[in-house]
Structure formats: C-alpha cells, structure tokens
Amino acid sequence: MKERQKGGLGPRRRGDAFEVAVCADLERVGWWCARLRQGGGQLVDVVAVGGPMSSWAVWHIQCKARTPYMRPAERERFVMDAQNCGAVPVIAWRDGEIQYKVLT
C-alpha cells in the first residue's frame, strides 16, 4: 500500500485541485467564484458570490480536501474575519461529493 505524502507538492496539488473543484461546483449552479492567492497566511481559499437574486450572499470558503477539521483558534479567527466583512464563513470538504457547512 502506498503511503500518503505529508509534505511537499503532493498535498498542495490535491488542495489546489480541490479548490478548483469547489469553484466548478458552485459555478455550475450560478455562483461567481475566485480562488485567492495562497502563501500569505490567508484563511480564505475561495470567495463565492451568489444565491437567489433577492438575497445574494458572499461566502468565504476554507477548503479541506479530506476532513472538515479546523483547529479551534483557526476556526474562531476564520469566522470572525468573515463576519467582519459581512461574509458567511463556510468550510468545504469532500466526502464522496463536495460538502459545505456554514460555521458559527
């Protein structure tokens, strides 16, 4: 059995591919998405704007390729930053298909 890589380019490529998949999934249902440049300590991986015309929403999305776990301090900062911008904090992960959960 092949071991999963814990560092290097493998996990980064999986993360990048998952961010692209999240954007494609949301764009398919009419949302506009943008991946943010990584490497500067950004908590937000994807910004999405969409929803029904009468109540558009802005989502700040943290993408997790395998598990929706975030450390408590990271989660708290992510939620506070999103709410300060008037955005909805969302975590996305793959469990067969892409799952989304609004964080509170």
**What pLDDT was estimated at residue 41?**
64
Quick one: average pLDDT of 65-76? Answer: 90
Count Cβ atoms within 10 A of the Cβ of residue 69 and give its class: 0-12 exposed, 13-18 middle, 19 or more buried.
Answer: exposed
**What pLDDT was estimated at residue 44?**
92
**What pLDDT was estimated at residue 73?**
94
Q: What is the pLDDT of residues 3-29, one digit of tens each?
A: 555 556 666 778 889 999 999 999 999
| DSSP for 6-75, written as a single string | -SSHHHHHHHHHHHHHHHHHHHHTT-EEEEPPPSS--S-SEEEEES-GGG-EEEEEEEESS-----HHHH
**What pLDDT was estimated at residue 14?**
81
pTM above 0.85, yes or no: no
Q: Where are the domains of the chain?
A: 9-102
- pLDDT of 36 > 70? The answer is yes
- In words, the CATH class of domain 9-102 is alpha beta
CA-CA-CA-CA torsion sign (69, 59, 43, 3)? positive
